[in-house]
Structure 1
């Protein structure tokens, strides 16, 4: 896709300010008398308003990395900065509040409440997330707007059991953006769908960057990974391919601290 000035969309994202900076990130677990590395010395950045892929085979550490980016899991060492804020320095309660304001999560298996309609599932997200700064009387309109962005508003009053897998994932996307978080994360969001539906759902997720969102998704599908604006590839817990220009072009946490 070409921008009006002739630059590629990929290059435009490459010059965007970094939203997330990850430096020398490692995660290990203890099993009996030995230490098992899950991630080793990972460094990369994620620009704002970017479609960013974390690619790799099963067991490469993709989901562990995503959990650390959202504050669900803690690194053993290294730094994660979100708009300059160090996640490791936050308490569990502070992280939960931060996550509610800044991150929307799309699950592979949808995780919808089966007794609630599509609209009610999105309204529940607004209830739990504080309404995204809106007054309660505005919630229904906001929920319908989210369902429209996810292209599922015509089925707002259907229960999950009355929806196909792709339709349920669209509701899950609408729920993730309900409180207007700047970041949407998705762990294998198309892994439970047929190829045609998977393509449609991916296009819906990708379109959120046009509404100012940063979308971070985990996939083992190289074709889907290659459609990202930026990506990293993991194998056996190590970074095997990344956007090196982003890494070399950003100041490290240590450099900023010394200034």
Structure 2
């Protein structure tokens, strides 16, 4: 009996070893699972703690220099109208239709001077004003006006039926200016045109001056017409500046 007791003790002790190893193995697996989950939790916590980054605001565009337009029918002085349009029908001018006079305006004058046996002289004077505001999407008022100025010059040069088209720069008027002169046959007579497009900051000014002779009177010379156009457009550009003082 004394021999079998120690032997039994040894058998029981050996039998207990696998149980402990299994338990240790389970404990190791659980610990490893917790350890692998721990970094994820830490990373999630770190991500939520990091400050949120906001998108940089879009750069703002510079405000337009001119905030309003003058009355188009007063943008050319009465003296200039009298000089360029003899026997003018309506001295105050005929305003064009506009849904917003702060952004666009137009006015025209015409007259027919009867010289008896020497015939008659017809003259037409027209001024157009376009103002552009700065826009976050479309760009600055100056850039928008510049685009319009370029397209306006191209439009006048491409006038249907125009002949003898000549273009030239107009120094000293606005930021940039272009003169276009041409002839056109209408109602059996030759009309001569002088057109000047000007950009002054965020405003585009266009003056058109044309005329012809009837019943034996000669059509005006291109140079004469352009001199009158320059005079009128200088009035209009000055009026834009004066309206914004």
Q: Relative contact order (alpha carbons < 8 A, sep ≥ 6): 1 or 2 greater?
A: 1
Same fold (TM over 0.5): no
Bigger Rg over Cα = 2
The TM-score range, normalised by the shorter chain, is under 0.3
